[in-house]
């Protein structure tokens, strides 16, 4: 089994207590039920904000013909008795409205806000439904609002810690570039390269106009910033991580190596600075 999908499945099962089928059978309150479509509301914890009109219309046509085959996951609305909040399946819920259904099959679960966000992230990542910014915002909320570490987030969604860290860094880009990412005008690889650009918006406009590839964008940014190019040159992700660590530790940090192995070198000027660096690293372990 693909390790990425396997990891995602484990994370979702852990959040729901077991497999969806097992949970439903183990608790009568968790069995599939039918709810009026009007009683279900979208959740503020849904990481996905963009839903393509064409794909919704296609799904609505399928629902008209075959119905909703997989129940939609909801929870009782915390501040609105008698109503329910979407946890997973918002695309099906929206398509059901287009198909003019009056009732939909649901699974009702008691979940907190953190669990809702995690489940929604996992479901959307499994389906490749999130754009890079939606994904980054979801990861950021889990770390900033719910106090999770990047390692724990990575484990839940079946990604590496560096993937999560690089994703969150995209939120440092100017709002206009984030919008281009959401619209599909730029890819995540373009955005990571633009993090190092002297004028990210101007560079992004050039990338879009000239339809540059990610590699071409990296070379463009390297030329404009004076960074070296060619074989063995560090990726935009690596350079960005070096800059982040250097700023955090207040000393020069260099990273070398490849996807299999590498080195992180921390330069210090005296023993006093070394003690401070060690103290800061130790404090992050607790």
Return the active site residues. Answer: 90
Residue 20's alpha-carbon distances to 2, 9, 125, in angstroms, are: 20, 11, 18
Query: What's the token pair of residue 218?
Result: 């990296």
Distance CA 144, CA 164 (A): 13
Q: Which residues contact 222 (CB under 8 A, 6 or more apart)?
A: 228, 229, 233
Q: How many CB atoms lie within 10 A of CB 51?
A: 13
Candidates 142, 158, 162, 132; CA nearest to 237 is 162
Contact 192, 170 (CB under 8 A): yes
Q: Per residue, what are the HEC states of 68-116?
A: CCCCEEEEECCCCCCCEEEEECHHHHHHHHHCCCCEEEEEECCCCHHHH
Per DSSP, what are the bridge partners of residue 106? 33, 72
Distance CA 242, CA 253 (A): 6
């Amino acid at each position: 089994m693909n390790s990425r999908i396997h990891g995602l499945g484990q994370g979702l099962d852990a959040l729901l207590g077991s497999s969806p089928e097992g949970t439903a059978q183990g608790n009568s309150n968790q069995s599939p039920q039918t709810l009026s479509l009007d009683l279900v509301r979208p959740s503020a914890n849904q990481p996905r904000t963009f839903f393509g009109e064409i794909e919704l219309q296609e799904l609505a046509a399928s629902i008209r013909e075959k119905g909703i085959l997989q129940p939609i996951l909801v929870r009782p609305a915390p501040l609105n008795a008698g109503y329910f909040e979407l946890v997973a399946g918002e695309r099906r819920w929206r398509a059901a409205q287009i198909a003019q259904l009056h009732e939909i099959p649901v699974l009702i679960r008691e979940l907190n806000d953190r669990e809702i966000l995690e489940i929604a992230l996992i479901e959307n990542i499994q389906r490749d439904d999130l754009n890079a910014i939606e994904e980054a915002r979801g990861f950021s909320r889990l770390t900033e609002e719910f106090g999770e570490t990047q390692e724990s987030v990575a484990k839940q969604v079946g990604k590496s810690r560096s993937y999560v860290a690089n994703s969150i860094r995209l939120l440092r880009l100017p709002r206009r570039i984030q919008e281009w990412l959401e619209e599909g005008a730029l890819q995540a690889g373009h955005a990571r390269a633009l993090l190092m650009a002297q004028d990210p918006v101007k560079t992004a406009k050039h990338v879009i106009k000239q339809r540059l590839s990610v590699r071409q964008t990296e070379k463009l940014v390297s030329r404009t910033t004076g960074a070296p190019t060619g074989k063995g040159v560090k990726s935009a992700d690596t350079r960005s991580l070096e800059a982040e660590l250097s700023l955090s530790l207040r000393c020069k940090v260099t990273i070398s190596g490849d996807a299999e192995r590498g080195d992180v070198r921390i330069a210090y000027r005296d023993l006093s600075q070394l003690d401070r660096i060690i103290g800061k690293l130790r404090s992050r372990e607790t």
